Amino acid sequence: MKLMETLNQCINAGHEMTKAIAIAQFNDDSPEARKITRRWRIGEAADLVGVSSQAIRDAEKAGRLPHPDMEIRGRVEQRVGYTIEQINHMRDVFGTRLRRAEDVFPPVIGVAAHKGGVYKTSVSVHLAQDLALKGLRVLLVEGNDPQGTASMYHGWVPDLHIHAEDTLLPFYLGEKDDVTYAIKP
């Protein structure tokens, strides 16, 4: 067997193993299935929104907010918590969501260091997640990381889910006029 054939077999076996692990964990190997969503308790949601827990309860009773999702635990019906989408809706209702004026250019934050392996991607991803949890819209650009680490943090396995046409390469080559095609939710 030639070296290239052996290498290709190893690569394919690695891809199959990655898919099998994802299917065993998530019943699917898509990026969407890999996302772990969480719900925040009412006190946590209140802190994120910037109001009291009672203000949330009062708004739910008054119909300003939808009734909370509930589930039966034992014999007691309890709140299951709030999704980030529900928390952002609360921010809109209470007027606490941070907004940038339409005529103001969004800030650009760069995380840089002149050395590899110093957690630039980790800092970037965690900063983006923190800003998103605060209700801001965030675009995290992974422009020059050949490993695709930020993509992996968000459930995208580069070898399985990302192809050259999904990257900034077509833009760099002048084949695309802007980068909107490469933005993933």
Q: Specify the pLDDT at position 43.
A: 97
Q: Specify the pLDDT at position 4.
A: 87
How much is the pTM?
0.76
Q: Specify the pLDDT at position 127.
A: 96
Helix, strand, coil tally for the chain in percent (to 5): 50, 5, 45
Three-state secondary structure call for residue 127: helix
What are the domain boundaries of the chain? 1-35, 42-94, 103-185
Q: Are residues 71 and 80 in contact, defined by beta-carbon separation less than 8 angstroms?
A: yes
Per-residue pLDDT 10s for the chain (185 aa) are 698 898 889 888 988 888 888 788 778 777 777 777 889 999 999 999 999 999 999 999 999 999 999 999 899 999 999 999 999 999 999 999 998 899 999 999 999 888 888 888 999 999 999 999 999 999 999 877 778 889 888 888 888 888 889 888 999 999 999 999 989 87
Q: Which two tokens stand for residue 115?
A: 């050395």
Spatial separation of the C-alpha atoms in residues 170 and 158, rounded to whole Å:
17
Q: Specify the pLDDT at position 173.
A: 94
Q: Specify the pLDDT at position 114.
A: 84
Q: Specify the pLDDT at position 41.
A: 96
Q: Which two tokens stand for residue 95?
A: 């007027």
Q: Specify the pLDDT at position 107.
A: 93
Spatial separation of the C-alpha atoms in residues 110 and 36, rounded to whole Å:
26
Q: In the 8-state DSSP scheme, what is residue 90?
A: H
Spatial separation of the C-alpha atoms in residues 88 and 143, rounded to whole Å:
29
Q: Specify the pLDDT at position 8.
A: 87
